[in-house]
Amino acid sequence: MNTKKSTIPFLLMAFLKIGAGYAQRADSVARLASAYFREAEQASANQTIWKQKLYGPMLFVDENTRTAWANMPDDGGILKPEGEIYKGILPKSIIIANTSFDWGGKKWSMIIWPLPADRYERLNLVLHESFHRIQDRLGLPAHSPTADHLSAKEGRIYLLLELQALKSALDKPKNERKYDLESALMFRQKRQMLFPETFRNEEILEANEGLAEYTGVILGRPGNTLRQHLEMVIEGAEKKESLIRSAPYITGPLYGCLLHDADASWTLKIDSGFNFTSLVKKYYHVKIEGDNLDAEINKRLMQYDGARITASENLKSEAHEKLKKQYIDLFTANPVLVISLVNMNIGFNPNNLFDLGTYGTVYPTMTLKDVWGELDVTAGNGSLMKAWHIVYLSAKDGISTKDTKTIEGKGWKLTLVNGWKLVADGSNFKLVKE
């Protein structure tokens, strides 16, 4: 009897301590999220690079629990007050990614939680996604093609040379940059001449991700930190597995900061048809003569580490071509699941895409939702997407069905909604309405 009397209070005290611990952790997350919101608001409070207010509806979302912390409520009442901010569970219909999206009567920026521990990286990311939230109102709508030629050896070489020329320009006073910028535009023009059908995709991506990244960099990284970051990004470009979508994250901030030195208000004078070549010519009075371009490029190659870059890319090209053949064989000579896209919502890593030319683009990882359900590609053979209309999944290693709505292959999982089913289509498979 005495034991029970002493045990019950002890258990109650332990429970209260545990509960208090959970509450403290929950409160600490809310306080941290609130601090990050204030940080972003302060960093963008007096910005003059865009005519629209940059700070606005924003969500930090935990991928595992779908818990969302917001700086304001949604119109549907899902987000409840939590101290100075709001908290709720994001509906399963929404893909979690660093992006902007429409939900609950508002256009939101979404950033995956936890955010980077480094303040400058964190602000860079948050302000990048904040630009995506307002870009339509700025007359700079989002378009996301792939610059497939940047997977080709020559495409990579002339991009890397361009970056070296831009790095050299950054290291000099504004009035001494003309020669290096001239070189950068020559390497850029050479790439355009080699790949006339797809080069415009580079410029389109620069008007989307390039401007977003410039926004994050110029507002989120002060002084010496900004210059150090740009140099680090240039150095890391050669190590990137793929540049077909990630290149504008490099060129956008580089050209943007160079232009900012010439005219801090340059972003207020552009429309959706802008390109960096024209802007550099305008603000730095650079001219590129069409005659003897190749001869002039050859004279300048070695000034920007051309021999090393070319040798390195030759080695990478051999491995690239070998992997390309493996992917083509995987998706054309073996069974596949073919999925037509109707109204997709997608999240993916722009740094690991692999171009297969007319066959499409390999996405090693991605999350995709459409009218038929949800697809998660995590590893294995990846997925092949063509023209944003069709996705191919490898069935070479077989397909398993835990039930009629859960279908799995090597590295991917498909969850169907009611009304859809998997059927055989010769040696392949497809989804059809029931």
Helix 119-134 × helix 2-44 angle, to 10°: 60
Compute the mean pLDDT over every residue in the chain, rounded to the nearest whole number: 92
**13 pLDDT exceeds 90?**
no
In this prediction, what percent of the chain has a pLDDT beyond 70?
A: 94
C-alpha 88/C-alpha 370 separation (Å) is 24
For tokens 């029931």, the residue is 434
As a 3-state breakdown, the chain gives helix, strand, coil percent values, each rounded to 5, of 50, 20, 30
Amino acid occupying residue 211: L
In tens, the pLDDT along 165-174 reads 999 999 999 9
Q: Give residue 292's region: left, alpha or beta (phi > 0; psi -120 to 50).
A: left
Q: Buried (b) or exposed (e) across 362-378, using 16+ Cβ within 10 A?
A: bbbbbbbbbebbbbbbe
pLDDT band for position 248 (cuts 50, 70, 90): very high
Amino acid occupying residue 282: K
Output DSSP code: residue 307.
Answer: H
In tens, the pLDDT along 42-89 reads 999 999 999 999 999 999 999 999 999 999 999 999 999 999 999 999
In angstroms, how far is CA 380 from the centroid of its own chain?
21
Neighbouring residues of 241: CB distance < 8 A, sequence distance ≥ 6: 351, 352
Q: How many CA atoms are closer than 13 Å to the CA of 42, on its beta-carbon side?
A: 7
Output DSSP code: residue 226.
Answer: H
**Domain residue extents for the chain:** 32-134, 148-319, 334-433
Cα angle 265, 145, 359; round to 5 = 160
C-alpha 174/C-alpha 177 separation (Å) is 6
